[in-house]
Structure 1
Amino acid sequence: MNIAIAMLISITILIIGFFTWGRYVAKKSGVNPEIPTPAVRINDGVDYVPTKPIVLLGHHYASIAAAGPIVGPTLALIYGFVPAWLWLLLGVIFIGAVHDFSALFVSVRENGRSIAHIARKTLGNTGFAFFLSFAILLIMLVNAAFLQLTAIALTSYYPISKLGLSPDQTLLKTTVINGEIYGKIGGIASTSVIVITAFAPLIGYLLYKKHIKTFIASVLALSIALVSVIIGFEFPVTLEPKFWMVAILIYSFVASWIPVWIILQPRDFVNVHLLYLGLIGMFLGIIGSGFAGVKIQAPSFNINSESMEALGLVWPFLFVTIACGAVSGAHSLIATGTTSKQLSNEKYAHLIGYGAMLLESFLGLCVVFVILGAVDFEHYKELVWPMQNGHIKQGNAPLAFAVSVGKTLNNGLGIPISYGTIFGILMLEGFLITTIDTLFRLMRYFFEELWNVLFVKKPRILESRIFNSILGISLTALLAFTNGYQKIWPIFGSANQLLAALTLVAVTAWFAQKSIKAYFAAIPAGFMILTTITSLSILLKRYIESKNLTLTITDLLLLFLAFGVVFLTFKYFFKLRTELSKEKIPEMVK
C-alpha cells in the first residue's frame, strides 16, 4: 500500500474517533464548564497553577508522548504491518484515549488527587497502598528503560557514507570505528538538551511571573530550540552512556522537587516545539514520499518463529510492546499527578485528555510509516533485531527510527539524509527527557502519599521532598544499571497497560458511585486485565529460567499487587450491588 494513502486513512479514522466516541465519553462523564477546577480554586503557585490550554496541551503531550510510541511500534513491527496498525488505531480510540480522559476528568472532580487516591474512596486504604506501590514500580520500570534509551540516543554514531556525506565533509564531527568514519549525530542532541535546560527557567519566569503572551513565548521557545541545534553542530557533546544516565538522574532530582514553573513546565514548553515540528515534518515526509511512489516495505503479517523469538506470542505481546502508542497506564499518573492540577476549565478535558492521546497514536502511526517506507524489512531487522550466532541480540531501535526519519524526509521533501537523521535523534531525545523528569516528580508524590498510609506518625525525614526524590531516583538507577532496555521493555509494557486496566477499574467504580454506567471504561478494563496478567505470567517463567532475580521479583510484585486490586474491586462492586438491592426492596414494598 502507498504510505500516503495509508497515512490519510489513519488520520481520518482518528478524527472521526475524536468527534464521535470522544465526545460521547465526555458527555456521559458529565463535563461541566461551570464547575471551578482545582487549579482555579487552590492556585498555590507550586503544583496547582491555572494554565493556558495550549501551554498545558504542550506540557501534557510532551510528558505522555515519550519513547513509547516511537520504540514500541518500532519493536512491534517484527509482527508485520497490519497488527501494529490496527492496534494503534482501535486501541487508542476505544481504550487509550478513554483511559486518559477519564483519569483526568475524575482527578479534576477529586481536587486534583492521584489515581491511587481516587481508588482509596472505593477500595479503601489497602487498595490505596496497592495502587501507590504498583504506580511506583511502574515508574521505576519506565524510567529505567527510558534512561538507557536516552543514553543510546545521545551517544549514537552512524556511518557518514550512509548519510550521503563524503569523507571530507565538515557538517558533522566524526570518529573512526573499525576503520570506518562515523558521524557523532547523538552529540548534537546532547548539546541541545543542555542549552534548552539552561534557558528553561527564563521561559518559566517570563510565562508565569511576567505573564507574556503565549505567542511571544512560543516564538522565543522555538528560537531557543533552533539555536540549541545550531550550537550542537559546532560543539557536539560526546560523553559515555553511563555518564549521561547519571547526569539525567541528577537533573531529574532537581526537577522533581522545585516549583513546577521553574524547569519542568518551561523545559517541556520549549522542547515541545521541536516535537511539533517533528510530527509535522514526518507527516509531510510521508505524504511526499507517497506522491513519489513509496510503498510499505514489509509483510502484512510476520507471525512466525522469528517474531516469537524476538517478543513472544502476538497476543499478548503485540499489545504490551506497542504500549504507550495505544494504551498507557503511565498517562493516568501524569493526568492525575500534574495535568489535573493545571486544568483551567473542565471544557478542555476532552481536548487535553482524549485529544493528546490521539496525537500520541498519530506519532506511533508516523513511526510505522516512516520506518516501513524508508527501509526494507531485512534492513529493519538488521537494525532492530540483529542476529548473532543464530539468535537475536539487542539492537538499536532509536537509531532505526532516526535513520528512517532521515530517509523519509529525503524521499518526501528533498531534505539531506544527514539533517533528517539528526532531527530524528532530536525528536526522540525530546520525548524521552520530558517524560523522565515528569515521572520522577510523580514518584515523589506517590512516596509522600504512601508514607501517609503506612505510618500513623511518620518519621520527619519521610516528609522531605528531597529524601523522597533521592529514594525514587536511587531505586530506578539500581534497575537501569543492571538490565538492558530490551529486557525491561516487555515487563514495562505489561505493567504499564495493567495500570491502565486498574485505572479504568478505579474510574468505573467512581462513576458507579455517581450512578453513571461507565461501560466505555469497564469493558476495556476487562480486556486489558486479561491481556496484561497473561503477559506477566509468561514473562515470569522467562525470568525464572534465565535466573534474572531483579526482574523476577519485580514481576512477582506486580502480579501480587494486580490481583490484590482486582480482588478488592470485585469485593467493592458486590457490596455496592447488595446496598442498591436493599434500597430497592423498601420502595417495592411501599
Structure 2
Amino acid sequence: MITFLIAIVILIIGYFTYGKFVEKVFGVKDERVTPAYANTDGVDYIPMNTKRNSLIQLLNIAGVGPIFGPIMGALYGPVAFIWIVFGCIFAGAVHDYLTGMISIRNRGAHLPELAGKFLGKAFKHVVNAFSILLLLLVGTVFVTAPAALIADLTPAWISMSVIIAAIFVYYIVATLLPIDKIIGRLYPIFGAMLLISAIGIGGALVIQGHPIPEITLQNMHPGGLAIFPLLFLTISCGALSGFHATQTPMISRTTQNENQGRKIFYGMMILEGIIAMIWAAAGMALFSGQGLNEILAAGGPAAIVSEVSIVTLGAIGGTLAIIGVIVLPITSGDTAFRSARMIIADYIKVGQKKIMSRLWIALPLFVASIALTQIDFNILWRYFSWANQSTAMIALWVGAMYLALQRKNYWIAIIPATFITMATFTYILNADIGLRMPIGVAYFGATLVTVGSVIAFFLTVRSRLAANDSGIRPIKVDEELEKSA
C-alpha cells in the first residue's frame, strides 16, 4: 500500500518539477501565434480553452491502454510500478510534451511530417505508413474492447455485431464533423465519468485495505516471461506510448497559447500514469499472479475490469465504473480515425474544409478496420504494442533532433529514446510475431541497432549544425505563423 501511495505522490511531484524543467528547456513563447489562430478552418484548426483541450487530450491518449496494459503488466509484480512512475515522468510525458509543442511550432504538423523534417525525407514516408497502421490497429482494438464490456451490460438479444456497428457509426460521425461539434462537447462529460471511475477504484483499494504489494525487483510473472523487453511493451499507455504522438498534433491545432502546453501535454500524461497505477495495483491486490493469468486467458483484460469494478464498488458503483472504462477506448478510437484522416490528408495535400474530402479519405479506413475486427484481440494487441513503441521511439528521436538543432538540452529526449530503441528492437528480434531470434542474439542485435542510432544522431547533428554555421543550409526548425484575418 505504501509503495502505491508514494508512487502517486511522485507522479504529481514530477509534473511540478521535471515538467517545469522540460518546459524551460523547450522555451515557451507566450507571444507566439499558434496554428489554432493562424490556420483557422472551422474543422480541425479551432481555438479552444485549456480545460477543454486538456480533457480532450486525456481522453485521446487514455484508451484501454492505461487499463488493459497495466492489468497485463501486473503479472510481473510491483516492478511494474517502477516503469509506470519513471517511464511516465522521464519518457512518456516528455514524449507527449515535445511532440505537441514541436507540432505547434510547425503549423500543427503530424509526426510523419515532423520526422521527414528532422530525421530525413525517407522517414516521412516510413512514419506515415507506420502511423496509419498504428491508428488502424488502435481504432480496431478500441472497437472490440468496449464492445465486449458493453455486451456484459446489455441484454443477450443485443448481439456483438450490433454493438460494434453502433460504435462504428459514432466513429464515422466524430471523424467527419468539426472537432468542436461532437468531440469538444461530449468529452467534458466523458472526462468526468473517467475521473470518477478511476478515483472510485483507487479510493476503494485504499479505504477497503486491499493488499497492494510493496516494491520489489523480483519478476513474479507466473509464466516466467522476461521483464526486459516485454514489460516495457506490455505497459505502453500509462508510461510511454507512440500512439500519443499521433494524438497530440490534433490538440496542437486547437491550443490557444504555448504556455498551456505543460498542462495539456505533460500534465495529462501524468494523469494517465495515475490511472495506470490504479489499475496495476488493482490487478495485483485482488488476484494472485496465477489467478490473474487464468482470468486473462479465459476472458481477457475486460473480465478483470468487470471483476475489479464489482468487487471494489458493488453492483451499482461497479457498473458505473465499467461505463467509465468503456468511455476510454471509445474516446480514443474516434480520434484515432480522425488523426488517420488528417495524416493522410496532409500527406497527399488535400484540404479538409469540404466534408466530401474528409469522407473519401475516412471511409476506406473504416472498411479496413471492420475487416481487422475479425482477428483475435490478443494478436491485435501484440501488433499494437510493437507498432506503438516503434512510433514512440521515432517521436523521441524527433524531439531530440529538434532540441539539438536549437542547441538546447537534448538529453531529456535522447536518454528515453535510446532506452526504448533497445527495448523495441529486442522485442522485434525475439518475439514470435517478429524474427524469433534467441534472446541472447536479440540483445546483441538490438545493441548494435541502438548504438548505431545514437552514432547516426550525433553525426547528423554535427553535420547540420556545421552547415548552418557556414550558411550553406540554414536551419529553420520553427515556422513563422501569422494570425489569419
Matches within 5 A, 1:226-241: 239-241=158-160
Q: Describe the SS at the equivalent of 1:328.
A: coil
Match of 2:76 in 1: 79
Matches within 5 A, 1:97-496: 97-156=93-152, 186-187=153-154, 239-290=158-209, 294-296=210-212, 303=219, 306-308=222-224, 312-336=225-249, 338-386=250-298, 395-409=299-313, 417-452=314-349, 464-481=357-374, 483-496=375-388
Letter in 2 for 1:8: L
Letter in 1 for 2:357: S
Distance 1:476 1:123, change over 3 A: same
Distance 1:56 1:349, change over 3 A: same
Match of 2:60 in 1: 63
Q: Describe the SS at the equivalent of 1:325.
A: coil
What displacement does 1:581 show? 4.5
**2:166, 2:368 → 1: CA distance?**
16
**1:566, 1:343 → 2: CA distance?**
37
Query: Are the aligned partners of 2:79 and 2:219 in contact in 1 as well (CA < 8 Å)?
Result: no
**1:46, 1:247 → 2: CA distance?**
24
What displacement does 1:571 show? 5.8
Query: Are the aligned partners of 1:451 and 1:462 in contact in 2 as well (CA < 8 Å)?
Result: no
What displacement does 1:518 show? 1.2
Q: Deviations over 1:483-513 (max 9, x none)?
A: 2111221221121111111001112222222
Match of 1:214 in 2: none
What displacement does 1:479 show? 2.1
What displacement does 1:245 show? 2.1
* Number of residue-to-residue matches in the alignment: 458
What displacement does 1:263 show? 1.4
Residue identity over aligned pairs, in percent, reads 28
CA RMSD of aligned residues (A): 3.0
Match of 1:502 in 2: 394
**1:534, 1:6 → 2: CA distance?**
30
Letter in 2 for 1:427: G
**1:582, 1:37 → 2: CA distance?**
29
What displacement does 1:11 show? 1.7
Moved over 4 A (4+): 297-302, 542-545, 565-573, 581-586
Structure 2: unaligned runs, 5 residues or longer: 437-448, 472-485
Query: Are the aligned partners of 2:40 and 2:46 in contact in 1 as well (CA < 8 Å)?
Result: yes
Q: Deviations over 1:71-94 (max 9, x none)?
A: 0011111222x2211111111011
Match of 2:462 in 1: 577
What displacement does 1:439 show? 0.6
**1:379, 1:568 → 2: CA distance?**
41
Letter in 2 for 1:435: S
Distance 1:510 1:22, change over 3 A: same
**1:328, 1:472 → 2: CA distance?**
22
Q: Deviations over 1:183-240 (max 9, x none)?
A: xxx22xxxxxxxxxxxxxxxxxxxxxxxxxxxxxxxxxxxxxxxxxxxxxxxx68522
Matches within 5 A, 1:520-539: 520-539=412-431
Query: Are the aligned partners of 1:145 and 1:484 in contact in 2 as well (CA < 8 Å)?
Result: no
Taking structure 2 as the reference length, the TM-score comes to 0.87
Letter in 2 for 1:370: A
**1:299, 1:280 → 2: CA distance?**
22
Query: Are the aligned partners of 1:112 and 1:341 in contact in 2 as well (CA < 8 Å)?
Result: yes
**1:131, 1:570 → 2: CA distance?**
21
What displacement does 1:100 show? 0.5
Structure 1: unaligned runs, 5 residues or longer: 157-185, 188-235, 387-394, 410-416, 546-562
Q: Deviations over 1:347-391 (max 9, x none)?
A: 1101111110010010011112223333444442332134xxxxx
Worse-matched range after superposition: 427-436 or 276-285: 276-285
What displacement does 1:15 show? 1.7
Q: Describe the SS at the equivalent of 1:256.
A: helix
What displacement does 1:583 show? 7.2
**2:3, 2:38 → 1: CA distance?**
46
Match of 1:211 in 2: none
Taking structure 1 as the reference length, the TM-score comes to 0.72
**2:467, 2:319 → 1: CA distance?**
65
**1:523, 1:16 → 2: CA distance?**
21
**1:302, 1:571 → 2: CA distance?**
36
Distance 1:316 1:462, change over 3 A: farther
What displacement does 1:568 show? 9.5
